[in-house]
């Protein structure tokens, strides 16, 4: 039995595109662990700057490394960073939203103000704060996006949580003796999950862009790790002579981010009851990639 939201998602061409491409990217990342056309770090010195052709489908770089293999291996890093950032954003988001909705009034209001302040911190600024102390690494990207987007999630989830909290079945549950924690786990979280999963999809799009941008700046992946951002920085140095090779890693990033954004949009439409009917004015688009880094 396919759940209803999935069928709704599949019914729109954009939702289908998002789902298929995200699945393909994840698959590529997994496959690259076992197999890539060439070893991504192997330099075929006699084949430097090969034009796209067989066997180097997307050509080679300045040291003769196969660009397709590098991009496939880079998908691994991208997947790792976006999943990691997603997990942290979830934890931060749920924690702040729950604290901001369910605690004593003074604490609730303080948290809400704090979230309003923190939301002004761009992911890049957070990343720079972290990496000026601990140096650059993929964890910097994961934490920066996780914290930065977690605050975003908290802001969107909090009002939703408060709305559900005041509904009759939750009150009945509390009256029947559920503790606050039980109520949160059984009634509140499952009911805000749709809002939340949509945000998660968008946060992963931000993570992909952030990984590329921060790695490009030198705050993310180290030069020996396979990364789309590092690849862009490498190829940029020869942009005057070999402009075509820069196209590929950029396309990989764009398609992945586009797919994650569309998946988020599709999930929103598939799960939000207020926009179930296609006619009539639609909810305003959320600027869900506001402080994009890359």
Partner 1 sequence: MLRYAIVRGALLIAGLLVSSVLIFLTLRVFPGDVAQLIAGTQASPDQVDALRESLGLNRPLVTQYTDWIGGIFRGDLGTSLLSGASVGEELFLKAQVTIPLGIMALVIALLIAVPFGILAALLRGRRGGTALSVGAQALAAVPVVWAGMMLVVVFSVWLGWLPPQGFPRTGWSTPWRAIQSLLLPALTIGIVEGAMLMRFVRSATLQAAGQDFVRTAAAKGLTRTRALIQHGIPAVGLSIVTVLGLQVAGIIVGSVVIEQLFTLPGVGRMLVADVGTRDLIKVQSELLVLTGFVLIVGFLVDLVHRSIDPRQREAS
> CB neighbours of 97 closer than 8 A, spacing ≥ 6?
153, 154, 157, 158, 161, 192
Applying the rule CB under 8 A, the residues between 239 and 268 that interact with partner 1 are 239-240, 243, 246-247, 249-250, 253-255, 257-258, 261-262
Is 275 a residue that touches partner 1 (CB under 8 A)? no
Beta carbon of residue 4, minimum distance to partner 1 (angstroms, whole number): 25
Is 274 a residue that touches partner 1 (CB under 8 A)? no
Applying the rule CB under 8 A, the residues between 206 and 235 that interact with partner 1 are 209, 212-213, 216-219, 229, 232
Is 113 a residue that touches partner 1 (CB under 8 A)? yes
The stretch among 110-118, 152-160, 180-188, 269-277 that binds partner 1 (CB under 8 A) is 110-118
Is 125 a residue that touches partner 1 (CB under 8 A)? yes
Q: Which of 116, 169, 180, 222 binds partner 1 (CB under 8 A)?
A: 116
Give me the phi and psi of 60, to 5 degrees please. Answer: -130, 170
Beta carbon of residue 129, minimum distance to partner 1 (angstroms, whole number): 5
Is 178 a residue that touches partner 1 (CB under 8 A)? no
- d(CA 293, CA 221) in angstroms, rounded, equals 15
Is 66 a residue that touches partner 1 (CB under 8 A)? no
Give me the phi and psi of 66, to 5 degrees please. Answer: -75, 120
Is 134 a residue that touches partner 1 (CB under 8 A)? yes
Beta carbon of residue 280, minimum distance to partner 1 (angstroms, whole number): 7
Q: Which of 130, 142, 145, 161 binds partner 1 (CB under 8 A)?
A: 130
Please give the size of the binding site for partner 1, defined by CB under 8 A: 56
Is 121 a residue that touches partner 1 (CB under 8 A)? yes
Q: Which of 21, 24, 128, 193 binds partner 1 (CB under 8 A)?
A: 128
Closest CA to 214 of 143, 152, 262, 289: 143
The stretch among 60-68, 77-85, 188-196, 237-245 that binds partner 1 (CB under 8 A) is 237-245
Interior/surface letters 195-224, b for 16+ CB within 10 angstroms, e for the rest: bbbbbbbbbbbbbbbbbbbbbbbebbbeee
- Residues near partner 1 (CB under 8 A): 113-114, 116-118, 120-125, 128-134, 205, 209, 212-213, 216-219, 229, 232, 236, 239-240, 243, 246-247, 249-250, 253-255, 257-258, 261-262, 280-285, 287, 289-294
């Amino acid at each position: 039995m396919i759940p209803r939201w999935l069928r709704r998602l599949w019914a729109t061409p954009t939702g289908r595109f998002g789902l298929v491409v995200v699945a393909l990217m994840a698959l590529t990342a997994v496959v690259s662990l076992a197999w890539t056309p060439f070893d991504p770090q192997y330099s075929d010195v006699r084949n430097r700057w090969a034009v796209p052709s067989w066997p180097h489908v997307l050509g080679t770089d300045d040291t003769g490394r196969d660009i397709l293999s590098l991009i496939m291996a880079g998908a691994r890093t991208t997947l790792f960073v976006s999943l990691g950032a997603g997990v942290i954003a979830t934890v931060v988001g749920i924690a702040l939203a729950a604290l901001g909705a369910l605690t004593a009034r003074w604490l609730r209001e303080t948290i809400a103000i704090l979230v309003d302040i923190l939301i002004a911190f761009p992911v890049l600024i957070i990343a720079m704060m972290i990496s000026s102390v601990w140096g650059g690494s993929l964890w910097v990207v994961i934490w920066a996006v996780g914290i930065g987007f977690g605050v975003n999630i908290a802001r969107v989830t909090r009002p939703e949580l408060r709305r559900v909290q005041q509904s009759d079945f939750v009150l009945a549950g509390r009256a029947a003796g559920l503790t606050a924690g039980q109520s949160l786990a059984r009634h509140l979280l499952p009911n805000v999950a749709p809002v939340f999963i949509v945000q998660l999809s968008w946060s992963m799009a931000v993570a992909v862009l952030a990984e590329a941008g921060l790695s490009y700046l030198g705050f993310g992946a180290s030069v020996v790790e396979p990364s789309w951002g590092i690849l862009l920085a490498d190829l940029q140095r020869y942009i005057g002579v070999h402009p075509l090779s820069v196209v590929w890693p950029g396309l990989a990033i764009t398609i992945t981010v586009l797919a994650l954004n569309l998946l988020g949009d599709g999930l929103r439409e598939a799960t939000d009851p207020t926009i179930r009917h296609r006619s009539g004015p639609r909810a305003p688009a959320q600027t869900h990639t506001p402080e994009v880094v890359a």
